[in-house]
Amino acid sequence: MAHCCSDNEYDSMAKSVEEARAAILASSPALTDTDVLHLTAALGRVLAEDLCAPQPVPAWPNSAMDGYALRSSDGEKPRQLIGHCFAGHPFTGVVGPGECVRIMTGAVLPEGADSVLIQEQAEIQDKTILPQQRPAPGANIRQTGEDLQPGVEALHAGTLLRPAQLALLASLGIAEVKVFRRLRVAFFSTGDELRPLGSTLEAGQIYDSNRYALQGMLQRLGCEILDLGRILDNPEHLEKTLQQAAGMADLVISTGGVSVGDADYIAELLGRIGSIDFWKMNMKPGRPLAFGQLGEATFFGLPGNPVSTMVTFYQFVQPCILKRMGKSTPWTPSVLKLPLAHPLKKKPGRTDFQRGVLISGENGLQVAGVGQQASHIMSGLAHADCLIILAAEADAAPAGSLVEVQLLEGLV
């Protein structure tokens, strides 16, 4: 891979992470096609319609605790136990003055009662209940519509359906939802040195690991995946693959061959068959990046070094995919600030995405680098649980300084 400058040099021609991300998002249109799915098939999909509550949740006032339903106006006076109600089995009578009904969590509040005395605050003498304190009106009652009033928007179009959203929809009695169709993503790796798993490596050969990273990241985003395999550094094969990928996918990703080395053909080919920008990125890892249009498809040419492939995917491809899937903002990974447990080395010039681990101790949550930070050291990323972002202009970061962190779990 050809390099134009060393790690400690500023490069005025290079694009910043923010500039590149903004340019990518500006030309990443959201899908419009939709599917109608049962909730059991909708996990990870993006809602394509605003959904309002058709009825109140809860639909009836009910008890939040196990205890006794009664009238609070009787104060601490003893109450006569006249019946009981369980979740799903309401009491059909009326609770009058001086009376109470045994009630369990989730059971409908009987008519006449306005309060639930929790059982820990009641003394029981045969069929008489002696309150140990005056139950306040409305105490321990879940009111009708307290969660959602009818007609109120429960979820808006663009919401990514996670387990909590599926449960909310189910609580409203909604069984089927309109979601955007899945994004079709074709990907391939390039390099004469790459060998499939199961083969014996000869001198200079390596296993093709990037395709497994891509498959995992795309699967977690809920994409429809088209794995086009490993392609040799051969312009005819590459051109054929690019054309084929563009015809079948919404988004095409390649890894490797995107620089200006003698066996790097991606730039030249795409200049001819698509409209592509090649960016020298002001970041580490992940210097070269190609982005553009290949027919109807969005194209990303990611750098070949495995750590660069994954870091650039998270910073640029994932936001593009989330936007194209129809998800509403945010598309970019969330950033938190944590103190550094140990100093980190860095030279000013490029935004650094160092691999880090979280440390939870008596000083609270801290973050530390994983040690080896080179872009071919996959074990560092595999042991990391976050990326530590050090700004382009920043120098080395001392222990105790606050640094920006992206959690890898939060990166989907």
Give least dist CB 362 to ligand AMP, A: 40
**What are the beta bridge partners of residue 407?**
386
Which are the contacts of 120, defined by CB distance < 8 A and separation ≥ 6? none
Closest CB 261 distance from ligand AMP, rounded Å:
6
Q: Which two tokens stand for residue 309?
A: 């492939």
Asked if 107 contacts 85 with a C-beta cutoff of 8 angstroms, the reply is: yes
Positive or negative: CA dihedral 337, 338, 339, 343: negative
Q: How many CA atoms lie within 13 A of 147 on its CB side?
A: 20
Footprint on residues 352-371 left by Mg ion (CB under 5 A): none
In this structure, are residues 225 and 215 in contact, taking their beta carbons and an 8 Å threshold?
yes
DSSP-based three-state secondary structure for 23: helix
Report the residue number, 37 or 263, with the smaller CB distance to Mg ion. 263
* Chosen residue from 257, 274, 303, 333 binding Mg ion by CB under 5 A: 257
Residue 303 touches which of ligand AMP, Mg ion, none (Cβ within 5-8 Å per kind): ligand AMP
- Least separation, in Å, of the C-beta of 376 and Mg ion? 12
Q: Give the span between the Cα atoms of 286 and 161, in whole angstroms.
A: 31
* 173-181, 250-258, 274-282, 356-364 -> range binding Mg ion (CB under 5 A): 250-258
Q: Cβ atoms within 10 A of the Cβ of 274, count?
A: 18
Q: CB under 5 A: which stretch of 43-51, 61-69, 190-198, 396-404 binds Mg ion?
A: 190-198
Q: Which is nearer to ligand AMP, 53 or 231 (CB)?
A: 231
Between residues 164 and 203, which has the closer beta carbon with respect to Mg ion? 203
Residue 256 engages Mg ion in binding (rule: CB under 5 A):
yes
Binding site for ligand AMP (CB under 6 A): 1, 189, 191, 193-194, 206, 208-211, 255-259, 261, 303-306
Q: How far is the CB of 260 from Mg ion (least distance, A)?
A: 12
Considering beta carbons, is residue 257 or 274 the nearer one to Mg ion?
Answer: 257
* DSSP 8-state class, residue 41: G
With CB under 5 to 8 Å by kind, the binding choice for 210 among Mg ion, ligand AMP, none is ligand AMP
Do you find a cis peptide bond into 285, omega within 30 degrees of 0? Answer: yes
Which residue, 34 or 234, has its beta carbon nearer to ligand AMP? Answer: 234
- Give the contacts of 271 (CB within 8 A, at least 6 positions apart): none
CA-CA-CA-CA dihedral for 394, 397, 398, 402, to nearest 10: 90
Nearest CA among 122, 121, 123, 90 for reference residue 104: 90
Q: Give the residue with the Cβ less far from ligand AMP, 169 or 258.
A: 258
**Cα gap 37→222, rounded to integer Å:** 14
Residue 137 or 229: which CB sits closer to ligand AMP?
229
Residue 69: which region, alpha, beta or left (left: phi > 0; alpha: psi -120 to 50)?
Answer: beta
User: Does residue 306 bind Mg ion (CB under 5 A)?
Assistant: no
In angstroms, give the least distance from the CB of 288 to ligand AMP: 7
Nearest approach, Cβ of residue 267 and Mg ion (Å): 12
In contact, 392 and 282? CB cutoff 8 Å: yes
191 binds Mg ion (CB under 5 A): yes
Radius of gyration of the chain (CA): 30
Nearer to ligand AMP, 182 or 211 (CB): 211
Question: In whole angstroms, how close is the CB of 225 to ligand AMP at the nearest point?
Answer: 16
In the complex, least distance from residue 3 CB atom to ligand AMP, rounded to whole angstroms: 11
Q: Which residues bind Mg ion (CB under 5 A)?
A: 191, 256-257, 304
